[in-house]
Structure 1
Amino acid sequence: MTEISIKYKELSESDYRLAVRCAPCLVYDKKEPFLPQAIGISLFYDTQRPASLLFYHIRNNLSFKQRLKDYIEAWVMTLYHTLMNDRKTDPKPFALYKFYNNRPQPVLMTIRDKWKKNKAEKVIEYAIYYSSDIVHIYDLEHVWVYLNKDDEIIGVKGTRHGVIMTLYGSASKIKYQKKHPIVYCTPGKHSNIVDPKQLNRRILERACGYNYVGKDGVYDVQFFNDKIWKKVREFDPGKEKIREVYRKHYTFKPTFKMTKYMIPTRKLMKPWYDLMEEIPDRIIKYLKAEVLPYV
């Protein structure tokens, strides 16, 4: 695996109890075919870049041009979500405020509360592993829950296609299900939002439809080295065959009825670095069980 220089704290059982108590309540479409298979837990006490979100790691082999391209794409995606998802649902569409509030935020420990910026005492990271999303095999989404010194929730962040978003504008706006902050996961794609009204139905129906399902094959996992890729690709039948399997078995039309609730349990949780080491074998297991028998 890629070596990452980062401060890392071993998790105790009390840490896991806290992670279970503060875990987000994940809400899915009634017909969602892919649910979390494991959740990598990390606990942060100071500002650092998440090891599980390599989008924000400046790797030595990236040129300045590629780094700039990555950040431009992140900003474009942020602006896209602001204009397309919020324009029709926000009664006060402050586009510039939304763009500022939801801009890419690679640094942990600070959470925005309207125009203020609060510092958390600790942050729990939930790296949510899915065997697949509707377009590609392997999907990793993130939720960060921000706590004060009394371990009370003061904010929630999540990822949308690799971009970190502040999900709630302030702590007072956080919605809860059985004391767990609610995070809605878009049908088939699992991006994190806080209101079903933000769902872009046209785009999601297209993504879950015949022409798009499975089209990307096995996703480009950034922290896989050549040796790991060689091992995985022994079982990879290729994009076209994966696409055929997904067209036959996974094409669906989202109902946009977000009624499938899931509160992560201790059984799903493990340290992020343990989960990271398991991911190649998890992908192979999925290919052998859910793809290769139908090729």
Structure 2
Amino acid sequence: MPSAKDRLSGEERRLAAAYAPGLLFDRNEPFYPVRFGVTVLREDGASPSFPRRLKVSRPDVAAVVEYAIYYDYDIQHLYDLEHVWVYIGSNGEVADVEASFHGKYLKGLLRGRTNLSNTRTSLYVQPGKHALSPLPEVFELLPGFAACTQEAAGADGLIYGDCFRGLLASDEATDQKVRRYLQTCRFTPSGVYRIWEYAHRDDLFVSWNELFAEIPVRVRKELERL
């Protein structure tokens, strides 16, 4: 279990809630985040949960809040980890935003910062897959956008990040179990997106170390349940 020093400080928790991005989900979305693993970086360094380095030593940046957003399920697999990075300026303003998109990341602010309200950026969540974009039209340009929520539901079984190798493992029987379940979750995106309110939910925000410890436990419990 993570020690007390691994938990979010009061200031980190305040920043996490204040800058939490506004997430817009399709009306028919079956899966929502179960935890946000938060890391606040005040100097250049590697992300603890995504393969990239974060540059904080910029004239317009005082800190970066990384949100590692964990879902028990993507419509195609068990385990899903998405990310948002909010760059905070020296006066507390939002200097920049980036968001994960199928293993890469996109800029999160539109030209003119029209999707920013005070300290909260609005981002759309791809139905079922949970990639993030300030423009929902991007999702429909992806090959397999429709198939992934229908006949391809559950296609990938159990997946997990490299950091969980040795802690999690899969085989064909496990993958089949996940596929059977996710086939029962098939849906058709409505194209209508609604904001999901969560910034007030203190229980959702933990440190990355706490989330790292929790994820294997959650995965095993889901496999027992299926």
2:181 to 236, 245, 259: 245
Contact 1:155 1:174 in 2 (8 A): no
Q: CA offsets, 1:29-63, max 9 Å, x none?
A: 0011110000000001111110111x34xxxxxxx
Aligned residue in 1 for 2:222:
286
Q: Which residue of 1 aligns with 2:162?
A: 222
Structure 1 contact 9–43 (Cα < 8 Å) conserved: no
| 1:224 aligned partner, one-letter code | F
The equivalent of 2:113 in structure 1 is 173
Which one has a larger percent strand, Structure 1 or Structure 2? 2
Q: For 1:113-152, what per-residue CA distance to the aligned partner results, in whole angstroms no more than 9, with x for missing partners?
A: xxxx864110101100000101110000000111111211
Q: Does 1:121 align with 2:62?
A: yes
The answer (yes or no) to whether the contact 2:6–2:209 under 8 Å persists in 1 is no
Aligned counterparts of 1:193 and 1:20: Cα–Cα separation in 2: 20
Distance 2:73 2:101 in 1: 16
Secondary structure of residue in 1 paired with 2:163: coil
CA distance in 2, matches of 1:252, 1:11: 36
Distance in structure 2 (CA, Å) of the matches to 1:43 and 1:142: 13
Say what the alpha-carbon RMSD is for the aligned residues.
2.4
Does structure 1 retain, via aligned residues, the 8 Å contact 2:22–2:195? no
> Please, which runs of 5 or more residues in structure 1 have no aligned partner?
1-7, 57-105, 111-116
Q: CA deviation at 1:243?
A: 1.4
CA distance in 2, matches of 1:123, 1:261: 23
* 1:143 and 1:158 in contact (8 A); partners too: yes
2:44 is paired with a residue whose SS is: coil
Query: What is the CA–CA distance in structure 2 between the aligned matches of 1:179 and 1:148, rounded to whole Å?
Result: 11
2: distance between equivalents of 1:286 and 1:118?
45
In 1, distance between residues paired with 2:118 and 2:22? 8
**Distance in 1 (alpha carbons) for counterparts of 2:177 and 2:223:** 11
1:50 pairs with one of 47, 59, 68: 47
1:107 to 2:104 alignment: no
Q: Alignment identity in percent?
A: 28
Residue in structure 2 matched with residue 20 of structure 1 by the alignment? 17
CA distance change for structure 1 residues 220 and 10 in 2, over 3 Å: closer, same or farther? closer
Q: In structure 2, how many angstroms separate the alpha carbons of the residues matched to 1:21 and 1:175? A: 16
- State whether structure 2 residue 76 is matched by structure 1 residue 135: yes
* C-alpha distance in structure 1 between counterparts of 2:105 and 2:139, whole Å: 17
Deviation at 1:260, TM superposition (A): 4.3
Alpha-carbon distance change, 165 to 118 in structure 1, aligned in 2, over 3 angstroms: farther
Q: Secondary structure at the match of 2:68?
A: strand
Hey, what's the Cα distance between the residues in 2 that align with 1:40 and 1:214? 25
Structure with a larger share of its residues in helix: 1
* 1:149 aligned onto 2:146: no
Distance 2:118 2:63 in 1: 22
Q: Normalising by structure 1, what TM-score?
A: 0.68
Q: What one-letter code is carried by the residue in structure 2 that aligns with 1:108?
A: K
Query: In the comparison of the two structures, how many residue pairs are matched?
Result: 220
Whether contact under 8 Å (1:121, 1:147) holds in the other structure is yes
> What displacement does 1:169 show?
4.8
Letter in 2 for 1:244: R
Which position in structure 2 is the counterpart of 1:205?
146
- C-alpha distance in structure 2 between counterparts of 1:18 and 1:225, whole Å: 31
After the TM superposition, list the runs of 4 or more consecutive aligned residues in structure 1 that deviate by more than 6 angstroms.
none
TM superposition score normalised by structure 2? 0.87
How far did residue 164 of structure 1 move? 2.3
SS in 2 for 1:204: coil
**Mapped partners of 1:10, 1:48: distance in 2:** 19
Residue identity opposite 1:45 in structure 2: R
